[in-house]
A and B are shown apart, each in its own frame.
Chain A
Amino acid sequence: MSLPLAIALQRIEVMVAAILICVAILELVRRRHLMERYALLWLLAGVVVGVLAIWRGLLTTVSGWVGIYYPPAALFAAGFVFVLLMLLHFSIVVSRLSDQNRILAQRVALQQQQLEREGEGAKEQQPSGELAPRQ
Chain B
Amino acid sequence: MTSTKLAIVPAHNEAEAIASTVAAIARWAPDFDVLVIDDGSTDATAERARATGAEVLRLPFNLGIGGAMQSGYIYASEHGYQVAVQVDGDGQHDPRHIHELLAQLEGTSGLNMVTGSRFLGPQEGGYRSSAVRRVGIRIFSRLLSRITGQPVTDPTSGFRMTDRRGIELFAHDYPRDYPEVEAIVLMHTHRLRSRELPVVMAPRRTGVSTISSTQSVYYMAKVLLAIFVALFRTQPVREAREVSPTSVEQML
A interface vs B, CB < 8 Å?
99-100, 102-110, 112-113, 117
Cβ–Cβ contact A106 & B67, under 8 A:
yes
Cβ–Cβ contact A105 & B61, under 8 A:
yes
Q: Which residues 213-252 in B have Cβ within 8 Å of A in the complex?
A: 246, 248, 251
Q: Which residues of A contact B246 (CB under 8 A)?
A: 99, 103
Tell whether B31 is near chain A: CB-to-CB under 8 Å: no
A117 to B78, CA, bound (A): 15
Q: Which residues of B contact A110 (CB under 8 A)?
A: 57, 71, 74-75, 78
Q: Lowest 3 CB-CB distances: which A-B pairs, in order? A: A106-B71, A109-B57, A102-B67
Tell whether B122 is near chain A: CB-to-CB under 8 Å: no
Tell whether B58 is near chain A: CB-to-CB under 8 Å: yes
Tell whether B55 is near chain A: CB-to-CB under 8 Å: yes
The verdict on A113 contacting B63 (CB below 8 Å), with A103-B251, A106-B71, A107-B251 known, is: no
Q: Which residues of A contact B176 (CB under 8 A)?
A: 102
Cβ–Cβ contact B67 & A113, under 8 A:
no
Chain B interface size band reads 10 to 19
Tell which of A99, A100, A105, A108 has the most Cβ of chain B within 10 Å. Answer: A105
Cβ–Cβ contact A100 & B251, under 8 A:
yes
A102 to B63, CA, bound (A): 7
Least CB distance from B1 to A in Å reads 10
Tell which of B55, B70, B251 has the most Cβ of chain A within 10 Å. Answer: B251
Q: Which residues of B contact A102 (CB under 8 A)?
A: 63, 67, 70, 176
Tell whether B29 is near chain A: CB-to-CB under 8 Å: no
Q: Which of A100, A105, A108 contacts B67 (CB 8 A)?
A: A105
Binary contact track B49-84/A, C-beta < 8 Å → 1, others 0: 000000111111101000100110011001000000
Q: Output the nearest chain A residue to B61 by Cβ-Cβ distance.
A: A105
Least CB distance from B47 to A in Å reads 13
Cβ–Cβ contact B58 & A106, under 8 A:
no
Other than A110-B74, A113-B55, give 8 A-B pairs with Cβ distance below 8 A: A102-B63, A102-B67, A104-B251, A106-B71, A106-B74, A108-B60, A109-B59, A113-B75
A45 to B67, CA, bound (A): 38
Cβ–Cβ contact B55 & A106, under 8 A:
no
Least CB distance from A107 to B in Å reads 7
A54 to B56, CA, bound (A): 65
A103 to B173, CA, bound (A): 11
Q: Which residues of A contact B59 (CB under 8 A)?
A: 105-106, 108-109
